[in-house]
Amino acid sequence: MIKSLHIVSFNVPYPPDYGGVIDVFYKIKALKECGVNVILHCYKYGRKDALELKNICSEIYYYKRKKLASSALKKLPFIVATRNSELLLKRLQNDNLPILFEGLHTTFWLKELCKTNRKIFVRAHNVEHQYYRGLAKAESNVFKKMFFKSESRKLYKYESTLRNASKIFSISQNDNQHFNLKYGNSILISAFHPYQKLDIKEGRGDYVLFHGDLSVSDNIKSAVFLIENIFNNINIPFIIAGKNPDIKIVKAIKCIKNNNVQLISNPVHNKMNELISNAHINLLYSFQSSGIKLKLINSLYCGRHCIVNNNIIENTGLKELCYISNNVENLKKQVLNLFNISFNNNDIAHRKAILSDKFDVKANALKLCDLIF
């Protein structure tokens, strides 16, 4: 019997080049390999139709995100109110196949669809009100800060709609605990990613890397913090790489005395993978704790030493694979110490044992199939 599933995505999941869409794309790919026909519905947000998705989806539909300023004044969260296509509802009502909503963002029609006896699931990419509260704290622009605070309050109230879901598929242990405590219907399904096996170089690299979307408030704040407090007076090469770097990062680099900090703007996918693989240390730092950072998984599957702070690693089950530093003095010591220590075959074997147990993509896809069908 052919298994079919509607997936409603908050954005077009191709190219899979940032956290949320990485999880969506590789989940669809893994489900396809398990024999599932995926009917994909995408809200378009700054992305074009993707022909590449036809290789892993039986049908694809695109919907315009109604990003009107008036939506910010509604009681519903902006990220939900702007994804309310009636055409999507009609298409979902044409059959009784199970539905997977990707993120709280896409759940505008959840209550309506639950009026019939139908299996409906939600993939929780974050505890969204906590995530937006973190964005507000990291944001220096007054108007953006006000928007993020307002959105956080709305998301806190709106989250209870998840009671209507058959199951919530949480991406991290923290999120799973949160949703089970409130609604009692959550199951942990770890993040989907592109890696079938580890691809790590032994030996030493010659720089430290921080990478991410450099237009996001938390990444901007983290990058500037690391430039000004860690690499301002140590002679170790530091590369910051990512999409659309904010002017604050550029200015911070210009202000330090050393010439050891390099900015690489908008590296293509292969270039970013090379940077992660060739670095001696992947340094991941965040001022907010939310979901699981997929750049952590990228770094562990492809990179050598990883230094993180608690906001990156807490309740991921991956602490034993990373060096944890939460203050400036300790972080400097860790960088200086690890920069002289080679990454060897024993390190790789240890990492393989942990990751294959917790982040096996095929095993997670089969688990999803058992729960959905």
Q: Could you report the per-residue pLDDT of 188-233, keeping only the tens digit for each? A: 999 999 998 999 999 999 999 999 999 988 899 999 999 999 998 8
pTM for the model stands at 0.90
Residue 363: pLDDT over 70: yes
Structure confidence at residue 74 (pLDDT): 79
Strand partners, 213: 243
Instruction: Map out the domains of the chain as residue ranges.
Output: 3-194+360-372, 208-343
- Whether 208-343 and 3-194+360-372 are alike in CATH topology: the answer is yes
Considering the domain 208-343 in this protein, what is its CATH number? 3.40.50.2000
Q: Report how far residue 305's alpha carbon sits from residue 277's, in angstroms, rounded to the nearest whole number.
A: 10
CATH classification number, 3-194+360-372, choose in 3.40.50.1820, 3.30.70.100, 3.30.310.10, 3.40.50.2000: 3.40.50.2000
Helix, coil or strand: residue 170: strand
Query: 298 by DSSP, 3-state: which?
Result: helix
CA gap 271, 285 in Å, rounded:
21
Residue 63 β-bridge partners: 43
Do residues 129 and 175 lie in contact, with contact meaning Cβ atoms separated by under 8 Å? no
- Asked whether 189 and 367 are in contact (CB, 8 A), the reply is yes
Q: What is the mean pLDDT of the chain?
A: 93
Query: Could you give the C-alpha distances from 106 to 33, 101, 191, in angstroms and in order?
Result: 25, 6, 18
pLDDT at residue 302 is higher than 90: yes
Give the pLDDT mean for 133-153: 92
Q: Is the pLDDT of residue 315 over 80?
A: no
Provide the percentage of residues in the chain whose pLDDT is more than 90: 82
Given a contact cutoff of 8 angstroms between Cβ atoms, the answer to whether 9 and 102 are in contact is yes
- Rounded to the nearest 10 degrees, the angle between the axes of helix 19-33 and helix 361-372 is 70
- pLDDT score of 257: 81
Closest listed residue to residue 171, CA positions, set 14, 29, 316, 333:
316
Strand order in the sheet with 186-188: 59-64, 36-44, 3-9, 99-102, 120-124, 167-170, 186-188
132-153 average pLDDT score: 92
Contact 236, 248 (CB under 8 A): no
Per-residue pLDDT band at 72 (split at 50, 70, 90): low
pLDDT of residue 70: 61
pLDDT given at position 298: 92
Higher per-residue pLDDT: 117 or 361: 361
